[in-house]
């Protein structure tokens, strides 16, 4: 029986990301991915059931990478603002350093393949952040609205600002990241002037 080789699996992962980003999901056949990874097409079936399984596995691996990056130095005992700011900076750094992974994940999330994902599994990767948001709501610091709304106001500014195609003149640096986080924080928090939900 043939054994799984981590190097080949990594090569398939990178080839899948590269080809999907370059030519899209439909055109990225098993044969093309295998060729890009410098393995035989039959090798793919040692690791994955089919193309769908390969794409789903690639997406989940990227989401795990992202969650690991976001949760670097995570400490639930810190104030909610510090927790979210740390996660924000981690996410920004990840998306700028690994834009090809991030681009794949965004394409996947907006494709029919997203229907194959167990959303609860993906959510579990980010559970500490979700718990932090809920804690902020319980402490009456964060607005008592859907967690999905809160995630959108925290997460999507990073998606836009880290995309060089969308923000050509935006300079990614600590100062601009602090400004952007401040605006996101203001959007989700209750203000003493009565602006809360």
Q: What CATH number did the domain enclosing 76 receive?
A: 1.10.357.10
pLDDT one-digit tens code per residue, 123-155:
999 999 999 999 999 999 999 999 999 999 998
Confidence of residue 197 (pLDDT cuts 50, 70, 90): very low
Give me the chain's average pLDDT, please.
90
Q: Answer yes or no: is 56 within a domain.
A: no
22 lies in the same domain as 90? no
152 lies in the same domain as 179? yes
SS3 per-residue string spanning 10-47: HHHHHHHHHHHHHHHHHHCCHHHHHHHHCCCHHHHHHH
175 lies in the same domain as 140? yes
Tokens of 52: 């769908």
Range of the domain at 166: 62-188
Tokens of 122: 């993906």
Q: What CATH number did the domain enclosing 22 receive?
A: 1.10.10.60
12 lies in the same domain as 98? no
Write down the pLDDT at residue 196.
42
Alpha-carbon torsion, ordered 63, 67, 70, 72, to 10 deg: -140
**CA 139 from chain center: how many Å?**
27
The phi, psi pair for 20, rounded to 5°, reads -60, -40
Q: What percent of the chain has pLDDT over 90?
A: 73
Please state, in angstroms and rounded to a whole number, the distance separating the CA atoms of residues 130 and 96.
23
Write down the pLDDT at residue 192.
57
Write down the pLDDT at residue 4.
60
């Amino acid at each position: 029986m043939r054994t799984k080789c981590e190097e080949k699996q990594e090569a398939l992962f990178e080839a899948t990301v590269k080809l999907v980003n370059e030519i899209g999901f439909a055109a990225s056949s098993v044969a093309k991915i295998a060729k890009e990874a410098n393995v035989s097409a039959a090798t793919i079936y040692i690791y994955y059931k089919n193309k769908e399984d390969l794409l789903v596995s690639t997406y989940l691996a990227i989401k795990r990478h992202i969650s690991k990056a976001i949760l670097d130095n995570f400490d639930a005992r810190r104030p909610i603002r510090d927790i979210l700011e740390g996660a924000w900076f981690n996410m920004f750094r990840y998306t700028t350093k690994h834009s090809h992974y991030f681009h794949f994940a965004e394409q996947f999330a907006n494709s029919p393949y997203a229907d194959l994902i167990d959303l609860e599994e993906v959510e579990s990767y980010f559970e500490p952040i979700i718990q932090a948001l809920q804690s902020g709501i319980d402490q009456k610091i964060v607005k008592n609205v859907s967690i999905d709304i809160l995630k959108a106001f925290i997460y999507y500014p990073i998606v836009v600002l880290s995309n060089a195609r969308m923000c050509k003149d935006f300079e990614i640096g600590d100062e601009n990241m602090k400004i952007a986080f401040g605006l996101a924080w203001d959007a989700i928090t209750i203000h003493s002037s009565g602006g809360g939900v």
